[in-house]
Chain A
Amino acid sequence: MEMLLEALTSLLTFESILTVLVGVSAGLFIGAMPGLTATMALAMLLPFTFSMEALQGLIALGAVYMGSIYGGAFTAILINTPGTPSSIATTFDGYPMARQGRAYEALAAATIASVVGGIVGVIFLLILAPPLARLAVAFGPSEMFWVAMLGLTLVASLSSDSLLKGLLGGCIGILLSTIGVSPVGGESRFTFGYPPLQGGIELIVALIGLFVIPELLTMAAEGRGALPGGGELRKKEVSIAKIAKHIFSKPANLIRSCLIGQVIAIIPGAGGNVTSLVAYNEARRFSKDPKSFGKGNIDGVVASESSNNVMVAGSMVPLLTLGIPGAPPDAIILGVLLMHGLRPGLDLFTQSGLLTNGFILSMGLAALLLLPVGLLGGRVIHRVVIRTPYYFLVPSIAMVTILGTFALRNSMLDVGIMLILGTAGYFLRLIGIQAAPIVLGLILGGIAEEGYVQTLMAAVVDPIPWLRLVSNPLSMVLAGMVLLGAATALVPMWLARKGLLDKVEEEDSDSGGSS
């Protein structure tokens, strides 16, 4: 406790607060650009932190991380494009809200949810790091396989009109993830003799292509901007106090999403990319009015954005205690820690506790500062998107998309893949195959494959190798959850088909259609 106070005082200097403020703002800008990820933001910052003291450097990294995960919500809401993979679920309700002229409401809700999520993550990290870390290492290959399967049951709920088409999209996504070098075996697959394809299809490239390009094409074809014009907007603007009241008066959603965010964040490898999807799915499952999700339900935005910001501090649990990065950006923070001679472990909390606690608290400060920076930035960016005529908006977004995709791996091939997937995505959407299941398959395919093959390899002496998949208690629990998840998603659908429930499928126009 004493150490916490001491850390807090060392943090409340003008210099530190300024570092956090600048870091959050810079992170927000980077996160809001499709293609520029939190990992890249941290990597770019790395050289600057060399010249700083250890604590200042870590504070800057933590602030940028927090800002960039949050920044992804902006584009998700305003132009239906997740700026980072962790904000995919924000598009589901955020963009419909924006199309109804409630963009600012969605942005404010996302901001408040992010602040809460960020702070909750910090609290978890401060008080529960050691027990959570023990849970993190319980996830071995067979458990990871089931985690991926659990994620794939989301396909059932992501595919609104046809389950088969959703599953088809998921399979396409998984197969896209197998292009390139195999995670186990090291051979190159499906490259068609073209060496650059060894690099495979990067998740973010597919994400940008499948989400942005169809949206741009629709805007161009219809001759409209992303959002309806300004006149409509004024009437519907709601005060922030009202939005906050709405969110906090029903805390169950918020609490559930934060818990989900924390549990998933500590599973190394699954990381932030799926937290928001799982939280969104659960928010809908527990909602009294699940049908309103996907059509502009503010709770969907809250669930997605609170859970993904828990992940920022949450994924530091295995990192700080065991040196295992929970999410890709954490690898860079690990590098900085090692560079300053700080070895992850319990010593980090005792011997160099001042530094560690300072770093953790600074993430809390960063989360708090999201509120003013986000609300102000949100207002500005919102205005810009609304006021800009669509004939400027389409080429501008296209340019940023191309730049971001290129910068990801310095590859023009990636830009080509992005355009091809995007164009294909437009037609797939027409025949009812949505982008979300494809991206989900792409995220989870690699995890599932690695877990599956590793488990089978380890079981080489067993008489029936695949039984290893369910030999640990934890993997049995997870397998049970997969069955349960699939059942709860499928049974209502089946009942509806039999006419026992009122029909679920009267809506058919998707988020990008003309409404």
Chain B
Amino acid sequence: MIVRLNTDIAAGVLGLVFGAVLWFPRADIGRLSIIFPRAILLILTLISVALIVKGFIKPSGRQIEITGSPRRLVTVMVGFFLWWGLVEVLGFLLTTLIAFFALTWYLARVETVVTWQRMLMWSPIILALVGGFYLTFTEVLNVRLPTGLFF
């Protein structure tokens, strides 16, 4: 998918927004802690303005290309965040199993029709992968993974 966008102006605006987010809460910070971030914020603003100006005078890229399917991109993006959000509710093991199955199913559909039989065939592989990493981290590396409601 190709989107028409002046990338110089986009980058400049983004820089200004980012700067603004950090600029406003800076009031009650002591002198020693703020001189450096303030200097960088100033430089950031200058660069952003320069980019916007350049975007109007001599833009470099007028379009961006999203390779592949934008719908799949957004779905997987949202999927990752759901995965993260659910870990603390359902626990790491369960959430990861669900997320793994869902992602595999969703992505495999691009190539072929995914039947129940195929999913069933994949189950041992997925179970072994998730279980293997889960056990490595909890037992060998001694990491306390979030447990949630179940495990």
A–B direct touch in complex (beta carbons closer than 8 A): yes
What residues of chain A have their CB less than 8 Å away from a CB belonging to chain B? 36, 44, 161-162, 164-165, 167-168, 171-172, 174-175, 178, 182, 184-187, 189-190, 192, 213, 216-218, 220-223, 389-392, 394-396, 398-400, 402-403, 406-407, 410, 412, 415-416, 419, 422-423, 426, 428, 430-433, 445, 448-449, 452-453, 456-457, 508, 513-514
Cβ of B124 under 8 Å from chain A: no
Query: Contact at B47–A431, with CB atoms within 8 Å?
Result: no
Interface size class of B (residues with CB under 8 A): 35 or more
Residues on the B chain within 8 Å of A406, using CB = 143, 145-146
13 pairs across A/B with beta carbons < 8 Å?
A162-B60, A168-B48, A171-B44, A174-B40, A175-B41, A190-B22, A218-B67, A220-B68, A391-B107, A391-B110, A399-B130, A423-B80, A426-B77
| Cross-interface CB contact of B10 among A178, A221, A392, A431, cutoff 8 Å | A431
What residues of chain B have their CB less than 8 Å away from a CB belonging to chain A? 5, 7-8, 10-12, 14-15, 18-19, 22, 25-26, 29-30, 32-37, 40-41, 43-44, 47-48, 50-51, 54, 60-61, 64-70, 72-73, 76-77, 80-81, 83-84, 87-88, 96, 99-100, 103-104, 107-108, 110-111, 125-126, 129-130, 133, 137, 141-146
- Distance A422 CA – B77 CA, assembled complex (angstroms): 10
Residues on the B chain within 8 Å of A223, using CB = 68-69, 72, 107, 110-111
Query: Contact at A168–B67, with CB atoms within 8 Å?
Result: no
**Shortest beta-carbon distance from B8 to chain A in Å:** 8
Given A161-B60, A162-B60, A175-B37, does the pair A398, B103 have CB atoms closer than 8 Å?
yes
| Cross-interface CB contact of A407 among B26, B108, B110, B141, cutoff 8 Å | B141
Query: Contact at A172–B73, with CB atoms within 8 Å?
Result: no
| Cross-interface CB contact of A221 among B18, B37, B70, B88, cutoff 8 Å | B70
- Report the nearest B residue to A513, measured CB to CB: B67
Query: DSSP class of A's interface residues: helix, strand, loop or mixed?
Result: helix
| Cross-interface CB contact of B32 among A44, A185, A190, A391, cutoff 8 Å | A185
Residues on the B chain within 8 Å of A186, using CB = 33
**Shortest beta-carbon distance from A79 to chain B in Å:** 16
Residues on the A chain within 8 Å of B99, using CB = 395, 398-399
Residues on the A chain within 8 Å of B65, using CB = 430, 513
Query: Contact at A164–B47, with CB atoms within 8 Å?
Result: yes
Residues on the A chain within 8 Å of B34, using CB = 189
Query: Contact at B22–A182, with CB atoms within 8 Å?
Result: no
- Distance A121 CA – B16 CA, assembled complex (angstroms): 45
- Distance A449 CA – B125 CA, assembled complex (angstroms): 49
